[in-house]
Structure 1
Amino acid sequence: MSRHRRRTDAPRAPGPIFLLGDGLLLYLGLAGTVLSWTTAYGLGGQWGILLAGCLLLGLLSLAVWSVPRHSVLPPLVLGVCWLLAVWRLWGDLRLGWRTAAAQAAESVGGRVWLLDRILAVGAETAGGISGGPEAERAVTLWLLCAAALWALLLGWAVVRRRRCWPVGLLTLPLLIPAFAANRLPDWPPFLALLTCCCTMFLSELYARSDPKGGARFTLLALPASALLLGLLTATLPMEQYTYPQRTMEARYRLLEALRLPGMPNLFSGGYSSAGSEAEVDLAGAGPLSFSGRTVLRVETDVAGRVYLRGHSAGVYTGTAWESLDESLYEAMGELPGGYEPLNFPALANPDQPYHAVTVESAGASGGCLYFPYSLLTRPGEISGGAFVGDSCVAKELGTWRHTLYYRPEAGPRADMPGLRGEAARAERVYREFVHENYLTLPEGFQETAFAWIEEAIQAAGPLMVREPRRDFGAAYEGDIYTAEVISLLLAAVTRYDPATPLTPEGEDFVTYFLNGSRRGYCMHYASAAVLLLRTVGIPARYVSGFAAVVPPSGRVDVPDSSAHAWVEIYLDGYGWYPVEVTPGYGGGGGTTASETPSPSQTPAPETTPTPTRAPTTGAVRTPAPTQTPPPDSTHAGDGEAEKVAPLLRWTVPPGLGLILLAVLCFRRRLLREKRLRRLKWEGETNQAVLAAYGYLQRLLPWGGQENARLEELARKAKFSQHRLTEKERGEAAALVLREAGRVDAALPVWKRLAFRYLWGLF
């Protein structure tokens, strides 16, 4: 047996087959890992340079680890060179780390508590980073430096160890925080990484007992694994997969079970989208939970509540809100004069004073710039940001602090000058676009909405209407009044509940909220209000961001619990106007300060200071909703999650499930064939009998029993100077295989699967 160990561990001279197979595996693993990091955490970087760098680093690592095993000098020299490079490029690498850390912190959005703490230093110091090519080059350099270290480690795992588990430990755990935050890498690099792991998993059976055969098998298994994964991807695309309801509920139960007393959950801050996203997954909107981390820092000289909008969405699918298709914007073309719809309210009130606001991102998700309403800053005036359609302002990589100008008093007043000249022409063009795209409803919803409105009016009782405020202007009073009526009807027949569970599988999110559960939080109220407003002919869309309260000092740290969703309605000649529809916010919409609640309204929680500014909207005295939100729900910021962060994707998409099943079945077959050859045909008879006895020892924890005859044969093989006969070898093989079959038949189904496919014992 000792002779056998010396033979398999002896140094080998790497031939072309070894070098080709090891080189391909090393490159797939390294490039797949680095680009999976880049896409999962939104790090940016230049793909061409990264791919070329991974190729060169992979070849260097292959050369270093292909020398005889007893030589430690090449890896040591490479490690020293890496340290010298880090020392020489420390300034650029530090900039790259700060940019990458802050970008990753924004991507996970406070959803992975442990990673959030690791990246805290980078995110805290990111305010001074300037975006653009400099930040991208710095991130690329930092990724190449990390890839150099990883190439050295992966080379050891692939070339020297030739085992799957060290490759998996060096690659896949780095992506777990992204998976926990529902941030998936792009499929091509992740496919390359999976191909490397699958090939190593299959070929390691031959790697130590038959190195040359293992090298040939690697060259066969590599394209086969890639083809299998590619075919399953093509036939079963993951983006069409929807997780079942029981899977989503299991996530929340596990997160609660893992929550440690007195501290956030290690894997999740409990808030899977601390901010605004371009696509809102309503199917994942379950009970709320927050980490309390700061996601924005705001400085302005205007005190009171301010709505910091992020993304808006106009397409409702029944389980999600999505942005309008890019082709619609292409068909509309650029507006006359290059005007942007988000600037219309400020341009319609040129006589109102403007104020500066500085918003610094400290980890808010969405990749967008958060800003207050009535934005005056126009395209070309935002450093490190760009308008995207009519929905948001995208933030440039590496830029975290922006100073903008806005008009907080630019409400749709009766005496406002309004848009003039080319701005008015631009608004008329955009108005047609709005009425074509922001009035769509799901099939059959109109009948449901009318029935619900009739029932809600009866439940709400007489509406106590005070004299309408004339400062809105007659052209806008009707739409704003209607929006507030919708808001009070929702408050009258539903209740705010931050512990609202997931919508049952197969149910429409809004329909179930209105006619089923009748409880929810801002995501539910905003989604329902948008569709109800569209039903009565008012263009509306779903908006998410943060609702913050600026103190007289003018500076506020906005926590993740201030994340919120509300509604925008379009007022012809003015632009998009925010409307608050979640109970407990004290009235309708507004550009900055919210209205102090009237006695009949639901008071804001004690944690929310009541703004002292004059109200900007409010024509209806709202009756008290059926339930006041609990004081500890931090309703001031509402903190509604787009969905509670999952720990892991408990149910894999069908394609990956089939891949796993195929790989396990194939591995089991290879392992059985290898074991049978070793027991019955290959090697010395003494070694085969000892292998049979070792096999029996592995069966004991599963319910196997000792066999006196097999033990006798094993003692004879170990201590006798004589070689056992082929008959004795066959007898030992028959004894252990019969015992393995007995153990397999006696196990329950779930243990039998592990016994066969995970451990390969039968």
Structure 2
Amino acid sequence: MKDGNQAGILLSQPAWKEPMHGNLSALLADTLLVLLGLFGVAQCTVSAFSIPVKPIFLSICIALFAFLFLAIFSLKRWRMPILLILSAAYCVTAYLLRTYFLQGFVISTNQVLSTISDNSRFDLPQFRVNLPVGEYTNACSVFLAFVLFFLACYVCWAVRRHSFWLALLGTAPFLLVPLGFTITPAWPSVLMLLGFWATLLLSRLCANSSFGRTAAAGRVALLVLPAVALCLIAMSILMPQDTYTRPASIESLRQELEGGIYRSSLFSQQNGALGRVSLDSAGNRQYTGQTVLRVHNPSKTPLYLHAFSGSVYTGVSWESLPDSTYAELENSLYFNPQNMAGQLLSFYSLPEEQSLLMEIQVENVAANRNCIYAPYGLASRPEELSGTAFVHDAYIRVTSPFGISDYTLQAWDIPHFPRAVNLNLISEPFYSAEAAYRSFANTYYTQLPQNLREKLQWYCTQVGIPDAETAGQEAVIYAIANLVRTSGEYTLSPGTTPEGRDFVDYFLFENQKGYCVHFASAAVALLRSQGIPARYAEGYAVTAMDYDEEGWADIPDQHAHAWAEVYTPGLGWQPLEVTPGVRLSTGELNQQAQDALSEDSSTPESEAESSSEPESSSPESSSALEDSSALGSDETTGAIPFDFRTLQHVLAGIGVAGGAVLLVVLRRIFLIKRRKKRFHSANVNQSAIAIYKYLTDLTSSGASIDPYSEELALKAKFSQHTLTEEEMNALLSDADRAAHETYRTLPAVRKLFFKYGKCLL
């Protein structure tokens, strides 16, 4: 209107809007989106990690949860009470099915960790399952159904809000985590998730337009969904998954990132993965002198603390044998091969020789906490070391994700055992088991790349290494040990092996400079070329000079060491020292290793090394026993013998506590919303009475009511006049003031009760 003094009604420009709720097309679009997202997540997880489930049961659960939560989030009233009831029902059901729920969690976790381990260099733990194999599918189905309950609630909430970013945040990890470890889920599940995200993103544009969440928005979403589906199907046809390969640049970037992760200090020092020793990056070393282990040994004998044994030589690394190679062997063993010497001497030792049974206490200060540093002659059996797993014949790893910092082991002092053992006196079970393992060692621990084997055999002939069949194994071992000690110069700065070159070949025939990793690898390769079972080993050395008066030894990082292992019938694997300048019994260490703290070298790698390398048992001492007889082995399956009973109680406690907290929070939200609704009802006087009742509730906690508020409450109760807006605002202000002032004066415990118990704020 042009005349500002004229009275009249000013109307804004008309706009056409439809109701926000109750739109069938929008609800149908949301239903299809939620089903697409939930089915994509479920199939993606199950297919990527091979989790055993019942597809029909899981599909029914997904559909039921989707329809249920979409219906709830479409309600204008009673939404919170229904969610509270569902949460209570969830907690009750979880308790009734707690066995399946907890065991399903363990089985699913094992599958995820196992798949990641198979597709990475991580050596992740496995947990013991206390359920028959036939029940695995039922347990996993129940567990995933419980997970999908919460996920369905979240996805339905995000979709009803048409929030692309919230939906992406809740569903993307289920695809990105497997892809991060180059694990490809089933392609249909990937298409489902891509379709879910693309449709939600495009329809969100309509949801934010002037139409709002209208029938038009719903129709757009319904049109976008098939269009996106057609695009994804066309992409699948044009780029078949069975023929697709990553571009070289992308693959190179992935390898560089992976290499950076595995070479980082996070994994190389305290949390390193087990199962592999990389040789292609074994370059220069330096040390800080930091104490990494504290060892208590009352007998003060020198020790090799074994952490890992490399079985397969690839030219650039030492790897573990595949699990499948142990399947037939373990049926022939009744104890673990790492316990062979302990098992033998427990049969054979005389009462006066029991003093040779040592008790070694190890405190892990800053070493890799994923493994157990164990002495040779180990007498402690797998069932005696809770929280650990004997990984076949190679090493002992910790099952706890946080590692073990303090443990005690029993071991025999084999080098000081006073007499040779007549294996004919050993029981038949041990004799048969040892024979089975000896055959296994002769098969798998003499393998080498063929070109390297031929070159090393020629080299041994040229330098005069005797033939094992005529001179005996002991003579060959002794000759090779001496040859390796004099085959190169000890240094912590040998440089790295050129790309494409064999590590041992480059060290022996060209560079001839290195530290313990080089000498040990060369010795194992030479022994294998002569048909003698040998392995690469690494860990820490404890010399006789390291102990104090009470038998404690502080082991610094420069005591990290690598050595060779030779199989001795009856005793199992025994250390063989081949690094020059190392003598464990006298505490002699290579002087360059002592000076290494001041050298300007590159950062040390995770594999063992150091010049503080201990003296290993010589061929003579390692043959203190004649041909023994049997070996045995505990059944070492891929699953770690972790006692899950304690974890069950912890998870149950966390679940109960979490459910209780959730119920408390939901109850508070519900009561606050109901109170606000009463404060702003259509009947103004009834709202005023509700506010005054709230004020009287506050007085029980020490609040005071303004006299004017009492006046207004009486007026609302007994007068026929309706309170004005100013009077209602005065009442609300007094209630807000009284609540906050009372809350500030309460102690911490009463504050919690005031806020979450009485729900007065």
TM-score by length of 1: 0.53
Task: Please report how far the alpha carbon of residue 292 of structure 1 lies from its aligned counterpart in structure 2 after TM superposition.
Answer: 11
Contact 2:565–2:576 under 8 Å retained in 1:
yes
Match of 1:433 in 2: 440
Match of 1:346 in 2: 342
Match of 2:413 in 1: 409
The partner residue of 1:318 within 315, 320, 330 is 315
Q: What code does the residue aligned with 1:215 have?
A: L
Q: What code does the residue aligned with 2:41 have?
A: G
Name the CA shift for 1:30/1:560 in 2 (closer, same or farther; >3 Å): farther
Name the CA shift for 1:475/1:25 in 2 (closer, same or farther; >3 Å): same
Count of equivalent residues: 552
Match of 1:334 in 2: 331
* Match runs of 1:610-621 below 5 Å: 617=617
Contact 2:564–2:575 under 8 Å retained in 1:
yes
Q: What code does the residue aligned with 1:530 have?
A: V
Contact 1:308–1:545 under 8 Å retained in 2:
yes
Contact 1:13–1:68 under 8 Å retained in 2:
no
Match of 1:421 in 2: 427
Post-superposition Cα deviations, 1:682-702, rounded to whole Å, max 9, x if no partner, equal xxxxxxxxxxxxxxxxxxxxx
Q: What code does the residue aligned with 2:505 have?
A: T
1:60 aligns with 2:65: yes
Task: Please report how far the alpha carbon of residue 154 of structure 1 lies from its aligned counterpart in structure 2 after TM superposition.
Answer: 3.7
Name the CA shift for 1:480/1:51 in 2 (closer, same or farther; >3 Å): farther
User: Alignment partner of 1:542: what SS?
Assistant: strand
Name the CA shift for 1:245/1:27 in 2 (closer, same or farther; >3 Å): closer
The partner residue of 2:535 within 538, 541, 546 is 541
Contact 1:435–1:539 under 8 Å retained in 2:
yes
Match of 2:38 in 1: 26
Q: What code does the residue aligned with 2:534 have?
A: A
What CA distance in whole angstroms lies between the structure 1 residues aligned with 2:190 and 2:46?
Answer: 13
Post-superposition Cα deviations, 1:476-526, rounded to whole Å, max 9, x if no partner, equal 753553453254235x3363249x55x554443443454566666655554
Match of 2:646 in 1: none
Contact 1:282–1:321 under 8 Å retained in 2:
yes
* Match runs of 1:494-513 below 5 Å: 495-497=491-493, 504-513=498-507
User: Alignment partner of 2:446: what SS?
Assistant: coil
1:442 aligns with 2:452: no
What CA distance in whole angstroms lies between the structure 1 residues aligned with 2:507 and 2:397?
Answer: 32
Contact 2:37–2:192 under 8 Å retained in 1:
yes
What CA distance in whole angstroms lies between the structure 2 residues aligned with 1:483 and 1:533?
Answer: 7
* Match runs of 1:225-304 below 5 Å: 231-232=240-241, 234-235=242-243, 269=266, 271=268, 274-275=271-272, 277-282=274-279, 303=300
Task: Please report how far the alpha carbon of residue 29 of structure 1 lies from its aligned counterpart in structure 2 after TM superposition.
Answer: 2.3
Match of 2:162 in 1: 161
What CA distance in whole angstroms lies between the structure 1 residues aligned with 2:540 and 2:56?
Answer: 39
Residue identity (%):
26
1:211 aligns with 2:215: no
1:374 aligns with 2:377: yes
Contact 2:338–2:393 under 8 Å retained in 1:
yes
Q: What code does the residue aligned with 1:543 have?
A: A
Task: Please report how far the alpha carbon of residue 142 of structure 1 lies from its aligned counterpart in structure 2 after TM superposition.
Answer: 9.3
1:596 aligns with 2:608: no
What CA distance in whole angstroms lies between the structure 2 residues aligned with 1:564 and 1:382?
Answer: 25
Q: What code does the residue aligned with 1:371 have?
A: A
What CA distance in whole angstroms lies between the structure 1 residues aligned with 2:14 and 2:561?
Answer: 68
Name the CA shift for 1:316/1:511 in 2 (closer, same or farther; >3 Å): same
What CA distance in whole angstroms lies between the structure 1 residues aligned with 2:139 and 2:532?
Answer: 48
| Structure 1, 14-23 or 49-58: larger mean CA deviation | 49-58
Task: Please report how far the alpha carbon of residue 537 of structure 1 lies from its aligned counterpart in structure 2 after TM superposition.
Answer: 3.5
What CA distance in whole angstroms lies between the structure 2 residues aligned with 1:542 and 1:108?
Answer: 26
What CA distance in whole angstroms lies between the structure 2 residues aligned with 1:344 and 1:295?
Answer: 28
User: Alignment partner of 1:428: what SS?
Assistant: helix
Name the CA shift for 1:407/1:369 in 2 (closer, same or farther; >3 Å): closer
Post-superposition Cα deviations, 1:670-722, rounded to whole Å, max 9, x if no partner, equal xxxxxxxxxxxxxxxxxxxxxxxxxxxxxxxxxxxxxxxxxxxxxxxxxxxxx
What CA distance in whole angstroms lies between the structure 2 residues aligned with 1:595 and 1:139?
Answer: 57
Match of 1:527 in 2: 521
User: Alignment partner of 1:481: what SS?
Assistant: helix
The partner residue of 1:571 within 541, 555, 568 is 568
Name the CA shift for 1:152/1:279 in 2 (closer, same or farther; >3 Å): farther
Name the CA shift for 1:334/1:25 in 2 (closer, same or farther; >3 Å): same
Contact 2:446–2:528 under 8 Å retained in 1:
yes
Contact 1:545–1:563 under 8 Å retained in 2:
yes
Task: Please report how far the alpha carbon of residue 313 of structure 1 lies from its aligned counterpart in structure 2 after TM superposition.
Answer: 3.5
What CA distance in whole angstroms lies between the structure 1 residues aligned with 2:70 and 2:526?
Answer: 66
What CA distance in whole angstroms lies between the structure 1 residues aligned with 2:378 and 2:452?
Answer: 34
Name the CA shift for 1:323/1:3 in 2 (closer, same or farther; >3 Å): farther
Task: Please report how far the alpha carbon of residue 13 of structure 1 lies from its aligned counterpart in structure 2 after TM superposition.
Answer: 3.9
Contact 2:289–2:557 under 8 Å retained in 1:
yes
What CA distance in whole angstroms lies between the structure 1 residues aligned with 2:197 and 2:143?
Answer: 30
Q: What code does the residue aligned with 2:529 have?
A: T
Contact 1:23–1:58 under 8 Å retained in 2:
yes
Post-superposition Cα deviations, 1:510-552, rounded to whole Å, max 9, x if no partner, equal 4345456666665555433321221243211233455578966
Match of 1:685 in 2: none
Post-superposition Cα deviations, 1:353-403, rounded to whole Å, max 9, x if no partner, equal 323456799998897665332122446666566655433456667897697
Q: What code does the residue aligned with 1:527 have?
A: S
Name the CA shift for 1:50/1:370 in 2 (closer, same or farther; >3 Å): farther
Q: What code does the residue aligned with 1:435 have?
A: N
Q: Which runs of 5+ in 1 are unaligned?
A: 40-45, 110-122, 257-264, 459-473, 588-592, 621-762
User: Alignment partner of 1:406: what SS?
Assistant: strand
- CA RMSD across the alignment: 6.5
Post-superposition Cα deviations, 1:395-427, rounded to whole Å, max 9, x if no partner, equal 667897697753341138672325423223432
User: Alignment partner of 2:486: what SS?
Assistant: helix
Name the CA shift for 1:88/1:58 in 2 (closer, same or farther; >3 Å): closer
Post-superposition Cα deviations, 1:42-97, rounded to whole Å, max 9, x if no partner, equal xxxx854999679736752564246666859647854896599789989x99999x
Post-superposition Cα deviations, 1:144-170, rounded to whole Å, max 9, x if no partner, equal 87765544434444564363x544444
What CA distance in whole angstroms lies between the structure 1 residues aligned with 2:14 and 2:326?
Answer: 73
What CA distance in whole angstroms lies between the structure 2 residues aligned with 1:54 and 1:511?
Answer: 58
What CA distance in whole angstroms lies between the structure 2 residues aligned with 1:317 and 1:141?
Answer: 44
Contact 1:21–1:218 under 8 Å retained in 2:
no
User: Alignment partner of 1:496: what SS?
Assistant: coil
Task: Please report how far the alpha carbon of residue 442 of structure 1 lies from its aligned counterpart in structure 2 after TM superposition.
Answer: 0.8
Q: What code does the residue aligned with 2:338 have?
A: L
Post-superposition Cα deviations, 1:427-478, rounded to whole Å, max 9, x if no partner, equal 23322322222112212113543677799x89xxxxxxxxxxxxxxx98753
What CA distance in whole angstroms lies between the structure 2 residues aligned with 1:555 and 1:227?
Answer: 68
What CA distance in whole angstroms lies between the structure 1 residues aligned with 2:229 and 2:15?
Answer: 29
* Match runs of 1:527-676 below 5 Å: 527-545=521-539, 565-581=562-578, 586-587=582-583, 595-597=586-588, 603=594, 617=617
Task: Please report how far the alpha carbon of residue 212 of structure 1 lies from its aligned counterpart in structure 2 after TM superposition.
Answer: 1.1
Contact 2:288–2:597 under 8 Å retained in 1:
no
Contact 1:154–1:170 under 8 Å retained in 2:
yes
Post-superposition Cα deviations, 1:5-46, rounded to whole Å, max 9, x if no partner, equal 98999955456675345313223225646997x89xxxxxx8
Name the CA shift for 1:289/1:600 in 2 (closer, same or farther; >3 Å): closer
User: Alignment partner of 2:617: what SS?
Assistant: coil
Post-superposition Cα deviations, 1:650-682, rounded to whole Å, max 9, x if no partner, equal xxxxxxxxxxxxxxxxxxxxxxxxxxxxxxxxx
